[in-house]
Structure 1
């Protein structure tokens, strides 16, 4: 049996600001933006190529303090290209960091151990890791 993670709720304080950040700055696809009532709205966004989406909302998602989600991680095949794209889109992203030692020989020294880090406007923390091939 497959168990797939398909949605992660990201707590935000301002839906429109968060939607703009994830869609326009990060390039996530807006799957839907549903207004249920004056007090309830749900926005689902998906990173390009991902099987897992994020949901931001009010009135229909569990209450969590905005900015309290830490450790979300995206994976890309080319970290330098991904970082350049984030910088071009105005994201305040860290320099490339090598975390640990590579567990196996690979042609690119950033594979598996190369990361950049950023936060959304509320302080939810993200990492981007380079994995261009898997064992």
Structure 2
């Protein structure tokens, strides 16, 4: 039996500001934005990812303090290019750090407007071997 992590709830103080940050600055895909008299819930997915973030105002989402998520982890094939893309979109990023010459030991980070923080890890092998093959991305919404 497969057990897949597909959604992470991210606590934010302002849903619209978070959507603008993750969609317009970070480049996540807006999967849905649902509002009715009981809730406002939004799902966004990083390009190429099988896991999404969900932000909103449901009671279970309000149990966590905005900005309390630390070191959520993204993987890219080129840290320098990814960092340059984010900086070009106005995202404040840390400097790139390499802890070892082996693949997977290069990182930088950033935080959203509430302080939820992200680590971005370079794994060069993802350029040739993505976790979700390009031809399957349209079928799965990734």
Q: By the TM > 0.5 criterion, same fold? A: yes
Gaps of 5+ in 1: 105-110
Gaps of 5+ in 2: 127-142
Change over 3 Å in CA distance of 1:60–1:49 after alignment to 2: farther
User: Secondary structure of the residue that 2:2 maps to in structure 1?
Assistant: coil
For 2:17 and 2:70, locate their aligned partners in 1 and report how far apart those are by CA, in whole Å.
19
Q: Is the 8 A contact 1:97 1:114 kept in 2?
A: yes
User: Secondary structure of the residue that 1:56 maps to in structure 2?
Assistant: strand
1:7 is matched with 7
Give the ranges of 4+ consecutive aligned residues of structure 1 lying more than 2 Å apart after TM superposition.
Answer: 59-62
For 2:124 and 2:59, locate their aligned partners in 1 and report how far apart those are by CA, in whole Å.
37
For 2:46 and 2:39, locate their aligned partners in 1 and report how far apart those are by CA, in whole Å.
24
2:95 is matched with 95
Farther-moved stretch of structure 1 (81-90 vs 53-62): 53-62
Q: Structure 2 residue aligned with 1:124, among 98, 102, 116? A: 116
2:19 is the alignment partner of 1:27:
no
| CA RMSD between the two structures | 1.4
User: Secondary structure of the residue that 2:80 maps to in structure 1?
Assistant: helix
For 1:79 and 1:61, locate their aligned partners in 2 and report how far apart those are by CA, in whole Å.
34
2:44 is matched with 45
Q: Which has the higher helix share?
A: 2
User: Secondary structure of the residue that 1:69 maps to in structure 2?
Assistant: coil
For 2:60 and 2:33, locate their aligned partners in 1 and report how far apart those are by CA, in whole Å.
14
Number of aligned positions between the proteins: 125
**1:76-129 Cα deviation digits (max 9, x unpaired):** 001110000000000000110113x34x5xxxxxx3111011100000010100
2:53 is the alignment partner of 1:73:
no
For 2:59 and 2:90, locate their aligned partners in 1 and report how far apart those are by CA, in whole Å.
30
Q: Is the 8 A contact 1:42 1:60 kept in 2?
A: no
User: TM-score when scaled to structure 1?
Assistant: 0.88
Q: Structure 2 residue aligned with 1:113, among 82, 102, 105? A: 105
